[in-house]
Chain A
Amino acid sequence: MASLLIKKASIASEDNDELLLADVLVENGIITKIGNDIEAESATRVIDGSGKILSPAMFDTHIHMREPGQEAKETIKTGTEAAINGGITGVVLMPNTSPAIDSAAMVRTIYDIAERDARIPVYTSGCITKGREGKELAGIDGMLQLGVKMLTDDGDAVPDMMLLKRAMEYASEFDCFFASHCEVLELSGPRALNEGKVSYKLGIQGTPACSEEICMDRDIRLAHATGARLHIQHVSSKIGMETIRWWKQMGAKVTAEVSPHHLLFNEEDIGNYDTHYKMNPPLRTADDNAALLQGLKEGVFDIIATDHAPHTPFEKEQDFVSAPNGITGLETAVVSLFHHYINKGEFGWSLLVNRYSAQPRRMMGLDPVAIVEGGQAEFILFDPKGETTFSSDFMCSKSENTPFLNRTLDGSIDLVVVGDDILLQR
């Protein structure tokens, strides 16, 4: 019988910030005992968890893995290894690959590749429209039959409101939800950065926040009118957060996510045309950072998701307007959120576990992986006294386009366990 004993760890849960100090025994992939001074059998692997946090493993619902089509940036193999490196044991892929994931055949392709290459479960979303072109509906039923839960044209909004409305009405029959990348294309300009004092300074046409906010409002109203479940992706602004908060109060079936980078950075970080701070939606102002954090704490944002967007160095080294949007996030999310927030007392582990482990799973129709007797073993061991330096060597992702490159942050992920398997141990 395969067994694993974690000794004297501080167990985190989504219920409260108090960490339970205990030993945790895992047998055949199930947590069989949580208590003090559990004796280890001779065959058991024993890991000393003293001073460390034992947390349910994370689950990221917004990942770009670029396979098929742009494997130079990332593959399902390297992307899932990067996820494990960041304490994440389940991912939901975005469908803007080449070709796009807009049919059962493409979904099957993803599952086949994942089966072959990934050590963690890989879920995928499906396009709303064929090829994400915004003209015809994608093969929705076929995809949903294969277990797809999220429909999105992420990378773009659906410009044709009638088409989106019809998609929502059609899909009300099925168990799925829509995820919206919000922007009004006519207001977007070159999609380079926020319209504000930095766009003035750098001499580049910016995208006003109202572009995202208008589309957000539009999509929520359409969902409300059709009865569809809606999830708003990567919210970047204060008014955007307030829009969602208001609609939730009105009883709309809407959930929302925020990314670590929109919480931590703003347009000033772009400095002298640094493309490590270029993504869509763009970084906005310090006021927006504060409002988004508030929204996260209050629960306006149900989940945290990274929008992990790998790009090659050659592409990111172009001039600011031409460089592609996006930064990686799988490996840096947990540590950066710990370093900037948990370690500084902004919020506790319960929030992180709820927003980045439990809620994302629930949204996808999965059970959370709480650390309780009888539960599935799926957890990470986090050392709050450790350090992580995000060097090229450390990172498993094929791409390095992260503002944290070569930075050292507080905290480290020392162990990742799924079932019987230790996926990572440092």
Chain B
Amino acid sequence: MESTLTEVDISNGVRAIAEQIGQCNQDGKFVLVGVRSRGDEVAARILELLTEMGIEVPMGILDISLYRDDLAHLNSNPKLQGSELPFPVDKAHIILVDDVLFTGRTVRAAIDAIMDYGRPAKIELAVLIDRGHRELPFAPGYVGIHLETQRLDYVDVKLKETDGVDFVEVIQNNKG
């Protein structure tokens, strides 16, 4: 089953997350951490909306390349872009932001990375798209869009800053 998400769908998804986060954290005592790549772009958009809502929070970017569990199986290691966490991680309430939640391995890597910076008080997860098929026991606290997919489908996310356009396409894998 093929499906697509338009710019409007994406925009609505981001708004949904921002509103959920705003409602649950009115004291504004949290930080956003976008997971490269594209998670940082989603986080930036959420940040903008939160600011409109009067909630000002710091934002950081996390590169999880060094924490992936599949490095040994890759032909060549992914290029590092580095992390920037301009706030103390100790005792922080961190909301991780990513574009797609799938098996959960990225989340695990992100948590491992954060832990090496310090000891946060709490970590939550916000994702633009939850496509199911978890392989590790992680659950998102904030979801923009639920997407039904097959395990072998490929979800191609394009976002303006990174890819020039806002568009999501689910591509069926016919090999299955």
A and B touch in the complex (CB under 8 A): no
Interface residues of B (CB under 8 A from A): none
Interface residues of A (CB under 8 A from B): none
